[in-house]
């Protein structure tokens, strides 16, 4: 029998670590991970993200629309919080205020940790597949290792080859049963169709994706 598994994806970590600048952003996440983990029974894919503002907002909405067609995928939202940052670059020649408004995505690591713990205590799966290079998630993997030693903890770091050394997290590898980088070779094999349909009608892959 195949081992039951849930996949927990840090959406922004996946995008900025592996997909940005590639032609493979129109990614069918369920198809990708069922190909990657052929010996597991992927019961659910949990995708953690936050709604963005700005010129790429509609692209994100269209991609989320595509993801919602996948019956085994669940989307969990964090949010962006506004904050003020101070420019500390000594060579900066800007003559105005050195305080700037920006937005910071909040909640993803906490949301992932909460769902992992809830799934473990309710015995919803035998393997936890984490897609993130965020070492802040090491404590929840350590807790799972201590409280649920028979359950497997697998980490896939989304990182392009040129940046893999910088993104390597010993904290994550130390508390996982397997620590790997996501394979790029599967990305072109797991793309959504260019044109899709749902209950609201048909839509197409955004040009910039």
146-179 pLDDT, tens digit per residue, is 999 999 999 999 998 656 555 557 899 999 999 9
**52 in a structural domain:** yes
**118 in a structural domain:** yes
Neighbours of 159 (CB within 10 A): 21
**95 in a structural domain:** no
Number of separate domains in the chain: 1
- Which DSSP letter does residue 185 get? G
Closest by CA to 54, choosing from 192, 208, 203, is 208
Average the pLDDT over 112-123 and give the result.
98
Closest by CA to 179, choosing from 140, 159, 161, 153, is 153
**91 in a structural domain:** no
**94 in a structural domain:** no
Q: Are 11 and 60 in contact (CB under 8 A)?
A: no
Give the span between the Cα atoms of 52 and 62, in whole angstroms: 12
Chain-centre distance for alpha carbon 167? 15
Beta strand pairing call for 201-204 and 195-198: antiparallel
Q: Where are the alpha helices (DSSP H) in 37-137?
A: 57-67, 108-121
**101 in a structural domain:** no
Predicted TM-score of the model (pTM):
0.87
Taken in order 74, 157, 184, 164, the sign of the CA dihedral is: positive
pLDDT digits (tens, 9 = 90+) for 13-36: 999 999 999 999 999 999 999 999
**70 in a structural domain:** yes
**73 in a structural domain:** yes
Domain holding 198, by residue range, is 3-79+106-204
Residue 40 sits in a domain whose CATH number is 3.40.50.1010
């Amino acid at each position: 029998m195949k081992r039951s598994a849930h996949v927990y994806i840090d959406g922004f970590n996946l995008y900025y670590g592996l997909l940005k600048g590639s032609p493979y952003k129109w990614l069918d996440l369920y198809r990708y991970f069922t190909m990657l983990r052929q010996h597991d029974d992927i019961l659910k894919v949990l995708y953690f993200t936050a709604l963005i503002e700005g010129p790429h907002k509609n692209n994100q909405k269209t991609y989320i629309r595509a993801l919602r067609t996948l019956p085994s995928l669940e989307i969990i939202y964090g949010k962006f919080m506004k904050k003020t940052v101070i420019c500390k670059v000594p060579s900066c020649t800007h003559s105005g205020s050195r305080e700037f408004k920006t937005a910071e995505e909040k909640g993803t690591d906490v949301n992932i940790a909460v769902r992992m713990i809830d799934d473990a205590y309710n015995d919803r799966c035998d393997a936890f597949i984490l897609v993130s290079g965020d070492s802040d998630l090491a404590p929840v993997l350590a807790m799972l290792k201590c409280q649920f030693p028979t359950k497997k903890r697998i980490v896939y770091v989304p990182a392009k080859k040129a940046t893999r050394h910088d993104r390597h997290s010993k904290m994550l590898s130390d508390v996982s049963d397997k620590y790997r980088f996501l394979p790029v070779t599967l990305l072109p094999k797991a793309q959504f169709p260019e044109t899709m349909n749902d209950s609201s009608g048909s839509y197409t892959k955004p040009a910039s994706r």
